[in-house]
Amino acid sequence: LVSRMRTFGTTIFAEMSALAVQTGAINLGQGFPDTDGPAAMLDRAVQAIGAGANQYPPGPGVLELRQAVSEHRAAHYGLAYDPVGEIMVTVGATEAVAASVLALCEPGDEVIAFEPYYDSYAASIALAQARLVAVTLRPVDGRFTFDPDELRAAVTPRTRAILVNSPHNPTGTVFTRAELTVIAELCQEHGLIAITDEVYEHLTFDGVGHVPMATLPGMRERTVMISSAGKTFSVTGWKTGWVCAPPALVTAVQTVKQFLTFTAGAPWQLAVAYGLRHEMEWVAALGAGLQDKRDRLMEGLSAAGFSVLRPAGTYFVQTDIRPLGFSDGLELARRLPELAGVVAIPTQVFYDHPERGRHFVRFAFCKKDEVIDEAVTRLKRLS
């Protein structure tokens, strides 16, 4: 293995899901729903296979999906992207992030990301031989946010891009317009690109709306906007994502993408196009249901003795484990199957400064109510 990848090892998601399988523990670690996406959309994938959508689609993706993404961006955000030249389909948001970083960052360039960050960011940046500069999100009044001065201080002449994930995994923060404006102004002042990971765009709670960076003044032209179907339609195994950006940026990302995977799976693309056009009510109901599940898990975790932080979006809730007498989340996560028959994700692995997240553990609530309830019953053994 090349030296720049040697520190990465196995992802925490693989480690913890394997532990769940091995021990029979309830898996509130890796974020994937335990119920299926909209039935009519699933049928479309089957139909697509039956109808012969089984050969290579065009490199930038099936036109029908690019058109549906374009319509979705216009309808939800008032953003106009041309399906030809400004939208491309990827193998999930993961490939979109990797291809964007590889296409836009020279070796030695710096990319700012907010820690705790989704783990593929650091690996993609390392593959590009660029450098991740982490700006820490810290809880303020129970919500993770950043200090604008710390963000400003992180920009150097080598900074090329800021990776912005909102709604944010693993903290559940949804950046406000004010927070996005701080980032946007820095991008414009220093000529930076915003690479935005918006995979949880529809999973927000309490009436908090998702604001895409590209809708801020002056940002559409410098934003690589990324999303995917996995979270929106509860089909994380379909690995169908997309990039929306001005032509020069999409061309750059497409140039890299064609040699990573050339194209993405055909049947899923047709089905997701259907989903974006016909299943957005289903998605709204999913979001409302997830809010109830969030509340259910938060209440249970509090009763079990955790200090719980309220997320405004995503699948995840952060807990502080210190009230239970624990101090190291990684240690606790590795013992949790044996102590309580539950698997969770230690938040510290998503930091460049792990000590800043040592006492946080992430639990996923994208699960059936009875699964959440049983997990809570078990976790009450901890206190």
Which residues, numbered 165-194, are part of the site for ligand GLN (CB under 6 A)?
A: 169
**C-alpha to C-alpha distance for 202 and 231, rounded to whole angstroms:** 8
CA 212/CA 216 separation, integer angstroms: 8
Integer Cα distance of 208 and 95 in angstroms: 28
Structure tokens at 34: 């335990």
Which of ligand GLN, ligand PMP, none lies near 124, with the C-beta cut-off 5 to 8 A by kind?
none
- Scanning residues 90 to 149, which ones bind ligand PMP (CB under 6 A)? 92-94, 118
The binding track of 227-266 with respect to ligand GLN, each residue x by CB under 6 A or -, is ----------------------------------------
For ligand PMP, the binding residue among 239, 293, 294, 362 (CB under 6 A) is 239
Q: How far is the CB of 257 from ligand GLN (least distance, A)?
A: 19
State the nearest-atom distance from the C-beta of 110 to ligand GLN, in Å. 24
Q: Please, which residue, 86 or 197, has the CB nearer to ligand PMP? A: 197
CA distances from 350 to 114, 159, 357 (A): 10, 21, 8
**Phi, psi dihedrals of residue 363, rounded to the nearest 5°:** -120, 140
Total binding residues for ligand GLN by CB under 6 A?
Answer: 5
Q: Which of ligand PMP, ligand GLN, none does residue 92 bind (CB under 5 to 8 Å by kind)?
A: ligand PMP
- If one asks whether residue 318 binds ligand GLN (CB under 6 A), the answer comes out as no
Of 110 and 198, nearer to ligand GLN (C-beta) is 198
* Structure tokens belonging to residue 104: 């836009």
Question: DSSP assignment of 342-370, as one string?
Answer: EE-EEGGGG-SSGGGTTTEEEEE--S-HH
Kindly tell me which of 62 and 332 has the beta carbon lying closer to ligand GLN. 332
Our CB check for ligand GLN shows the closer of 15 and 86 to be 15
Query: Is the bond leading into 58 cis (omega within 30 degrees of zero)?
Result: no
Rounded-to-integer distance, Cα 8 and Cα 135, Å: 20
| Choice from 27, 30, 124, 165 touching ligand GLN (CB under 6 A) | 30
Q: Shortest distance, CB of residue 308 to ligand PMP, whole angstroms?
A: 20
Cα(253)–Cα(248) distance, integer angstroms: 9
Q: Quote the strand ranges of the chain, DSSP E.
A: 26-27, 87-90, 110-115, 131-136, 138-140, 143-145, 159-165, 193-197, 223-228, 241-244, 307-309, 316-320, 342-343, 345-346, 360-364
Q: Given candidates 4, 8, 13, 59, which one binds ligand GLN under the rule CB under 6 A?
A: 13
Distance CA 74, CA 204 (A): 19
Q: Residue 307: which of 316, 295, 298 has the closest Cα?
A: 298
DSSP state of 30: S
CB under 5 to 8 A by kind: which of ligand PMP, ligand GLN, none does 30 bind? ligand GLN
CB-wise, 135 or 340, nearer to ligand PMP?
Answer: 135
Which residue in the set 15, 86, 179, 197 belongs to the binding site for ligand PMP (CB under 6 A)? 197
Query: Which residues make up the interface to ligand PMP (CB under 6 A)?
Result: 31, 92-94, 118, 165, 169, 197, 199, 228, 230, 236, 239, 241
Query: Which residues make up the interface to ligand GLN (CB under 6 A)?
Result: 11, 13, 30-31, 169
